[in-house]
Structure 1
Amino acid sequence: MTTKRIAGNGHLSVMEKAGYSLGDLAANLVFQTLMTYLAYFYTDIYGLSPGHASLVMLIVGLVAAFGFNPVIGALADRTHSRWGKFRPWILWTSVPLGLIAILAFSTPDFSYKGKLIYAVVTYTLLLLFYAANNLPYSALSGVITGSMQERNSLSSYRFVAVMFAQFFVQVFMLSIIERAGGGSKAAGIEKVMTWLAVIGTVMLIITFLTTKERIIPKPEQKSGLKQDLQDLLKNRPWIIMLLLTTLVFVTLAMKGGAYVYYFKNYVDKERLTIFLRPILQFLSEIGMDFFGEDPVSAGFGLFNAGGIIFMIVGITLSKRFADKYGKRDVFGICLFISTLFILAFVCYPPRFIGLMFISQILHGFFYGLTIPLLWAMIADVADYSEWKNNRRATAIIFSAMMVGLKVGLSLGSALLTWILDLYQYVPNGGAQPVAAVNGVKMLVSVFPSIPFLTGVGLLCFYRIDKKTEAQIENDLRQKRNS
């Protein structure tokens, strides 16, 4: 039992890598908005209590993770079309994903109970179409090429695009929402999401048109869903990557969603204004006056900008380090160092603005080195499964990782609003209780550090090191060529 290969030496053109990366840029216009603003949208714009927002994000997220992803993964692996297995899904879901993203961030004039029901329905549909789009998209990276080095390169292209989406959402979006709504954040976020939906749909169609599937299982490799699941449960690297993915996204959702509360309720606004004055003056002089006069929006945007810019620097260096030292070792060491700079926030009083920005920059750089490696390692796990079992089931392996992503996102977002409620946070309140302010500080420091450090420990048990990577790639190449 072998795998048909239509890839030559596995080399990918710059156009195909760039076209593929646009798919994640599009998806992350939605995903980064969920991580950064969904909790804030539900509590301070849409009007749900923190407790109810927590329940919506947790229950819907877990249902989506364990219900949608395995089904879509199994369906994608069994899709047969002239365009391949995974590319058709990107095309079919491009328009529906954009439409439901608009609806999910709309604020209809319903009763409180009606708003709660509307939030459940729209968030469920959004996660369904996100899974139907992004899971096949992620699996596509495992069949574009059989070269692990080319996958490292493809992941670097992909996650530079992700960083551009993250940069827009976390740096400019809050200011744009306030301006677009003319003082109404509800109207502003609807307008912004409409434009993002249009742009994202076009990008997904470009991804469909510029990519090609080359690793195609032969008919004798077909296996049932039961066999695929049995293979997964015997795949120790897959189990570790599932847990690692979950832990990573718990942290990302928790701290990413907490920063807007941090700047609104913890950071000293007078000191922040003084710190930002020369930066904003310089930006104004060169025609880049994006942030207006609000120190919270400007501080939040520039704080995220520093982290993201250095994440992009880390991403561009990731392939070089991974090729030299192996994905596992680079991932573990850099994840540990990046966590230290998250923990540092617990030590900073509200007036220590400079240290906050420096820690965010250094965290961004070291975490950026890990970003492309996560998905490249999951593609390696698909190769490991084929190497061990002589069967390839790419999408179901990626679907399991998407379960981890959705569970992590749901747990992180739910923990964020639950902890805010636990610390007596008052939505749309003026001065917050001391307990709430301390809770916000913990949400950007101690609490998000725990999942990252646990993930570092898990990597000690991950067996696909640099030597094993080379052996798997060589053995599979010989099988495919024969």
Structure 2
Amino acid sequence: MTTAAMSQAMRADLSPAPDIGIAVRPWEKVSYGIGDFACGLSWNAVGAFLLYFYTNVALLPAAAVGTLFLLSRLFDAGIDLGVGIMVDRTRTRWGRTRPYFLFTAIPFSILLVLTFTTIDGSTGAKLAYAYVTFTLLGILYSFLAVPFSALMPMMTRDHGTRMQLGSARAIGTSVSVILATAATMPLVILLGGGNERLGFALVALIFAGLTLAALLNLFFSCRERHYDEAPAGGAIMPHVGAMFRNRAWLVTFLFCTLNFLRFGCVISVTAFFAIEVMRAPWMIGILLPAVSGTLLLSAFIAPFIFKRTGIRSGCMIALMLAIILHLILPWIEAQHSLFLALFVVAAILVSLTMTAIFTMAADAVDYHEWVFGTRNEGLLSSGISLSTKIGMAVGTAIIAYVLAVCGYDPKAVTEGARAAIRWSYYGWPIGIMIVQIGIIAFWPMDGLHDRIRRDIAARAA
């Protein structure tokens, strides 16, 4: 698109259309999925390799890196909620969410490159630089992730269409995970020519360009059709209190936090597990993409499964089967082919529950309107974005602290360190999935969608 065409499109009146009869166009669904690719590519690269980059390339102490991840993401707690409130109070000719994609795209892409760049100097100077760049990247991510999650319930009220959008989002996530996890290290080696410091910077530059293009496409292609007609302003705390009394939102928040806690643990420890425990570095390129890359398959089968089982029962069954497979994996480590086959099946089962989260987050907005009379898409979505950050941060910090406690030294790895890595690879995911089963049992929306839509329509009439 030329500069003149972009300017003309931006000047056009693209305000939200409240007509409930307007269907979501096929390209909008694709663009929504590409939007998640934009958000996920950078964040999956950060989740999968930033711990490795900080400890093995920037040569920062593992314990200090764990604290960095934890403090930076806890700081985001207030940022995400603030962005959610801003989205609810935003009124522009482009809508409530779309301006954030336009104005955040360039600075976010720049910060991604800076985050995977280290400076010369003392450990303290390099750690300070890491704190600044990683924290700023997280803040800008809030200005993308929160509006992006708030966009889906504004695009459509139809549950079936939301499942399709959730599947499109899962595909975007899957592609971003596959690219971020499977291609990063080969590209680092290829582009860096043996210099990992240079290689990571160049790969981050490529990922930043892809992210920028995908975010601009999201801005120009997707529309907002349904939103809270209440004027901006008013007290904030009553809305926050109502959010925590929204059972559907609370279940989604806790379930999503645990999901990304597991995700953060797994992708952070996988490289160490493949190299030090399995003694097969080549498995990194299979294990990491399988952790969430299986979303590509689950995106197609999830709508059919959850249509028959409901989200609550479907997620509980999938997690139970995944736990059984994870209990088998330690006993077949020597059989690489069988290990990988069972791991991929377990990853598919877990990916089904991750696909469900996207729909749950949108359904929680309808549940909120049904119970409290307001939608508050931005505020509710900020909580879900916060859950992903908290989960990823705590999961990554846990692995960093485990490495520090067991005395991990990349130049001289002890058997005790290998045992700690092995336990972390299996133990944390199993324990977390058990708790997830207890959380999803309280999901209230199965079977209520038609009633909620009728009640909201009757109230509006």
TM-score (norm 1): 0.89
The residue number in structure 2 matching 1:187 is 198
The residue number in structure 1 matching 2:431 is 450
Cα distance, 1:11 vs structure 2: 2.8
Does residue 85 of structure 1 match 2:99? no
Cα distance, 1:38 vs structure 2: 1.6
Q: Is contact 2:295-2:351 (8 Å) kept?
A: yes
Does residue 141 of structure 1 match 2:152? yes
2:142 & 2:337 partners in 1: Cα distance? 39
Cα distance, 1:378 vs structure 2: 1.2
1:470 & 1:429 partners in 2: Cα distance? 60
Cα distance, 1:10 vs structure 2: 5.7
2:406 to 423, 430, 433: 423
Unpaired runs of at least 5, structure 2: 1-15
The residue number in structure 2 matching 1:441 is 422
The residue number in structure 2 matching 1:17 is 29
Q: For residue 437 of structure 2, what is the amino acid of its counterpart?
A: V
The residue number in structure 2 matching 1:235 is 246
1:248 & 1:166 partners in 2: Cα distance? 15
Cα distance, 1:167 vs structure 2: 0.7
Q: Is contact 1:60-1:123 (8 Å) kept?
A: yes
Does residue 167 of structure 1 match 2:178? yes
Does residue 252 of structure 1 match 2:263? yes
1:208 to 182, 207, 219: 219
Q: Is contact 1:341-1:359 (8 Å) kept?
A: yes
2:262 & 2:60 partners in 1: Cα distance? 23
The residue number in structure 2 matching 1:462 is 443
1:410 to 393, 397, 411: 393
Unpaired runs of at least 5, structure 1: 270-295
Q: Is contact 2:48-2:268 (8 Å) kept?
A: yes
1:185-230 Cα shifts (integer Å, max 9, x gaps): 1110100000110111011000010011001222369653122112
Distance 1:126 1:154, change over 3 A: same
Distance 1:110 1:419, change over 3 A: same
Q: For residue 219 of structure 2, what is the amino acid of its counterpart?
A: F
1:226-273 Cα shifts (integer Å, max 9, x gaps): 22112112212222222111111110000111110011111134xxxx
Q: Is contact 2:274-2:283 (8 Å) kept?
A: yes
Does residue 474 of structure 1 match 2:454? yes
Q: For residue 436 of structure 1, what is the amino acid of its counterpart?
A: A
2:227 & 2:441 partners in 1: Cα distance? 33
Q: Is contact 2:88-2:232 (8 Å) kept?
A: no
Cα distance, 1:462 vs structure 2: 2.0
1:29-52 Cα shifts (integer Å, max 9, x gaps): 111112211211111111111111
Cα distance, 1:5 vs structure 2: 7.2
Q: Is contact 2:88-2:378 (8 Å) kept?
A: yes
Does residue 345 of structure 1 match 2:329? yes
Q: Is contact 2:34-2:214 (8 Å) kept?
A: yes
Q: Percent identity?
A: 22
2:441 & 2:313 partners in 1: Cα distance? 9
TM-score (norm 2): 0.93
2:346 & 2:235 partners in 1: Cα distance? 43
Cα distance, 1:434 vs structure 2: 0.7
1:61 to 55, 73, 80: 73
Cα distance, 1:28 vs structure 2: 0.9
Partner SS, residue 29 of structure 1: helix
2:148 & 2:319 partners in 1: Cα distance? 25
Q: Is contact 2:18-2:225 (8 Å) kept?
A: yes
CA RMSD of aligned residues (A): 1.8
